[in-house]
Amino acid sequence: MVEADAPVVNAMSIDVEDYFHVSVFDGIVPRSMWDRMESRVVANTERMLAIFEEFRVRSTFFVLGWVAERHPQLVRTIATAGHEVASHGYAHRLIYDQTPAAFRDDVRRAKAIIEDAAGCPVAGYRAPSYSITPRSLWALDVLVEEGYQYDSSIFPIRHDRYGIPVSGRKPYRIERRRGALVEVPGSTTRIGPLNLPVAGGGYFRLLPYWWAHWGISRVNRIERRPVVFYLHPWEIDPGQPRLSAGRLGRFRHYRHLEETEARLRRLLTDFPFDTIASVVDTVRRAAVPADATVTPPLPYAW
């Protein structure tokens, strides 16, 4: 919790991936073609870094291992600028489409590459497309065993690709046999029985700006809790190549790209932000005694 008279500082996060890495293009752009695609991730990420410098905001950058391997200088630039560097896995595969062994190899490989490029430890992980769901909760054990300290891969909503709608809405600690980690869920506001997403990404682009402003303000004001916001570098790039996909996929990916940068600037004017690590530490110190064991609000055993 946050002191009643203290400003609520939200968490900014960027999933560093290129436009052709997005899950909607799986099968359309196979991984064997990735190296032949026009890459725009460096320029777009540097643009975001410039915006954050302008507004004096620190962010958490969840870097795809594939990107870090090819652009280590970008990762070093992020770290040198004072931002948190975290892992988005290596190959942008949905967790529930992998075996536990394959997932372990992916997150271990990504962590090693990103840490080498950044020159600092990686504590956090976010799955591609929030793909820790009821059928992939085993991934939390793997993350603990591979040395991750927090995860941000569970979204407590209903969605056709992800979500655990009955999961906890605020950060909580998960105790496992071989260690513990903090789960930092995608942010929602609660209205009656529904969790409504206010966390960013497609919701930030597709819905009007007032929705994000209202939702973040509501969580900050009523619950006195920070919102964890996320965006991708390709979301501020209306000039990116157009790839074929189904009608819904094209709508989700390309809608309002030309408006996102202006909306982001407005968001940074309206709300304070810091890294996920800073916000998690503040919440953990205030709400969870060091010797406490917290039962995670997940209705599934794993």
Residues 6+ apart with CB under 8 A from 272: 7, 8, 9, 10
The SS3 call for residue 83 is coil
**What pTM was computed for the model?**
0.91
CA-CA distance, 238 to 235, in Å (whole number)?
Answer: 7
Instruction: Tokens for 202, please give them.
Output: 């497609």
* Per-run averaged pLDDT (10 residues), the chain, 302 residues: 72 97 90 96 98 98 98 98 98 96 98 98 96 93 96 85 80 87 91 87 92 95 93 96 84 87 97 91 58 47 46
CA distances from 76 to 123, 150, 259, 278 (A): 16, 21, 29, 20
Half-sphere exposure of 253 (CA within 13 A, CB side): 22
Q: How far apart are CA 45 and CA 59, in angstroms?
A: 12
CA–centroid distance for 159 within its chain: 16
Q: What is the pLDDT of residue 202?
A: 86
Two structure tokens written together for 8:
């609520």
**Paired tokens of 82:** 């004072």
The candidate with the shortest Cα–Cα distance to 61, out of 47, 50, 73, 45, is 45
Q: Which residues of 6-33 are buried (b: 16+ CB within 10 A; e: fewer)?
A: eebbbbbbbbbbbbbbbbbbbeebeeee
The pair of three-digit structure tokens given for residue 240, joined into one six-digit string: 């990116």
Residue at token pair 């941000």: 152
Which tens digit of pLDDT belongs to each residue from 165-207? 878 888 888 888 888 899 999 889 988 888 888 888 888 999 9
Residue 32 pLDDT: 94
Strand pairing category for 179-183 and 172-176: antiparallel
Domains and CATH numbers, the chain: 10-287 (3.20.20.370)
Closest CA to 249 of 152, 126, 160: 160
Distance between CA atoms of 90 and 127, rounded to whole angstroms? 10
Distances in whole angstroms, Cα of residue 122 to Cα of each of 17, 84, 228, 284, 298: 17, 8, 18, 19, 25
Q: 3-state DSSP call for residue 258?
A: helix
With CA atoms as reference, report the closest residue to 24 among 259, 244, 197, 205.
244
Alpha carbons 26 and 168: distance in angstroms, whole number: 30
